[in-house]
Structure 1
Amino acid sequence: MPEIRLVPCLADNYAVIVKEGSTVFLVDAPEAAPIRDQLDEDGWRITHILITHKHDDHIAGIAELVEAFSPEVIGPAAEAGSIPGLTRTVREGDVVEVGPLWADVYDTPGHTLGHVVFHFPELKLLFSGDTMFALGCGRLFEGTPAQMWDSLRKLRQLPDDTIVYSGHEYTLSNARFAVSIDPANEGLRTRAAEIERKRADGVPTVPFQLGLEKTTSPFLRADDPALAEAMGLSAADPAALFAEIRGQKDRF
């Protein structure tokens, strides 16, 4: 397995640095300073930057990092006009070669319309940006609930042992919300208690395992009759139930 560094940035963002041999890639660039500090500590130089979407808290560090390291910068074709410094654009169906590693690209509209994620199947790693969080998903700044639900169902099809790195530390709030709408889910309650302990100790909740997410996250279970019944919406179709879940989280 490669060496991986989770780098806290800004108030609650994460960047991720992955090293495999002489290849060092960064996923998202919220701000340059903490990323450069981690690189200096390890004695690494980034060769590639993978960008999931156009929001400033994921791209603000690109210019400084490009000036320092001249990496290849790879990001979503649909948002190329909003992301400075891209050297390659990608969309669903593309395979990204990152040194000896490779990733499948998936379009995941919802948070933004051009959002992409990167799945490294051989490494069992998914970099989900702001599409999927632990027990949550990104706010719908541009897309519709139906689009986000389709994006999450796409990611839900990946293997259970996939390890997910997301772009923010939102898990404590997500866990409290999830329990509020699905209180009888024992697996969720156990996970929420562990999250409470971790955050009290200042321990990150990222990364997380996709298989656990499938059984505990309401955002991946909008087609689960048990969740629909718990919310008093047994007659709702999955897209409508997802819209209700996202709306309730926005007001939580």
Structure 2
Amino acid sequence: MAQAEIHQFPCLKDNYGVLIHDAEGGVTIAVDAPDAAAVRDALNARGWRLTHILVTHHHADHTGGIPVLKEETGCEVIGPKTESVRIPGLDRGVTEPDVLSLGTLKIQVFDTPGHTLGHISYWLPDAKVAFVGDTLFAMGCGRVLEGTAEMMWTSLGKIVRLPADTALYCGHEYTVANGKFGITIEPGNARLAEHLASAEAARAAGQPTLPTRVDLELETNVFLRADQKAIRTHVGLPDAPAWKVFANLRERKNRF
């Protein structure tokens, strides 16, 4: 397989769009379509022609650009089967354990519900990348809007069981805010403090903090560390199941 080119770009207030270009296979894929103009500009700047959109979930800030892009390019829209009626222009619904073959790319689908009930993530094992939408953020995770905390904990577990060097592309630039929350929960985590400082410097320079990596998140993301003794003790749940500790952390973040 030829090396896929991946281009990330900001759109809307704090979203990211991503393009995956497989020159050998003749495909260019947008992961979500927050804003048609931003996706179009990114395509034109590189001389790429959109062939597919992979949708992670139905929220408008991830699907708003689909109708215009589909009309302009005739691209195929692929997304979560269980949210098909809520995603404009969806051509193909997928679910775990489906594997997509697009050009030379093999893309594995994971069900990652919690933020929405039908949220899915996409893993390209050969490229060592995953696109996790609003399930996982750098040093954070999505709000549990439609699912349950236990469901979200299970979804996060799927992502962090990917190989440690997997790059994780997330839907939003929330890293600094997440890190500021995390350090209040785990103030003794030097790696977290270092990552927060690095993220603050990147944002001050106008640079993105994404993608992140599985190994980095396991060290610095308090939501993934709900089974750690120090965090359990901090939130007063030393003997609770990890998902209940996670639920407590998520509620604290909602109020932070």
TM-score bracket relative to the smaller structure: over 0.9
> 2:112 — aligned with what?
108
Give yes or no for the alignment of 1:63 onto 2:62. no
Identify which of 6, 9, 12 aligns with 2:11.
9
Shift of 1:235: 2.3
Shift of 1:230: 3.5
For residue 89 of structure 1, what is the amino acid of its counterpart?
A: G
Cα distance in 1, alignment partners of residues 224 and 234 from structure 2: 15
> 2:21 — aligned with what?
19
| 1:27-85 deviation digits (Å, cap 9, x = unpaired) | 00001001101111111111111000000000000011001111111000000000011
Aligned partners of 1:182 and 1:231 also within 8 Å:
no
For residue 244 of structure 2, what is the amino acid of its counterpart?
A: A
> 2:182 — aligned with what?
178
Aligned partners of 1:171 and 1:195 also within 8 Å:
yes
For residue 3 of structure 1, what is the amino acid of its counterpart?
A: E
Cα distance in 1, alignment partners of residues 57 and 106 from structure 2: 19
> What is the total number of aligned residue pairs between the two structures?
252
| 1:145-195 deviation digits (Å, cap 9, x = unpaired) | 111001101111111000000000011100100001100011111111111
> 1:216 — aligned with what?
220
For residue 38 of structure 1, what is the amino acid of its counterpart?
A: A
Q: Percent identity?
A: 49
Worse overlay, 218-227 or 177-186: 218-227
Partner SS state of residue 100, structure 2: strand
Shift of 1:86: 1.1
Shift of 1:223: 1.4
Q: TM-score, normalised by structure 1?
A: 0.98
Give yes or no for the alignment of 1:241 onto 2:245. yes
Identify which of 128, 131, 135 aligns with 1:127.
131
Give yes or no for the alignment of 1:53 onto 2:42. no
Q: TM-score, normalised by structure 2?
A: 0.96
> 1:41 — aligned with what?
45
Cα distance in 1, alignment partners of residues 179 and 140 from structure 2: 8
Shift of 1:215: 1.3
Partner SS state of residue 9, structure 2: strand
Structure 1 residue runs of 5 or longer lacking an equivalent are none
Cα distance in 2, alignment partners of residues 230 and 216 from structure 1: 16
Q: CA RMSD in A?
A: 0.9
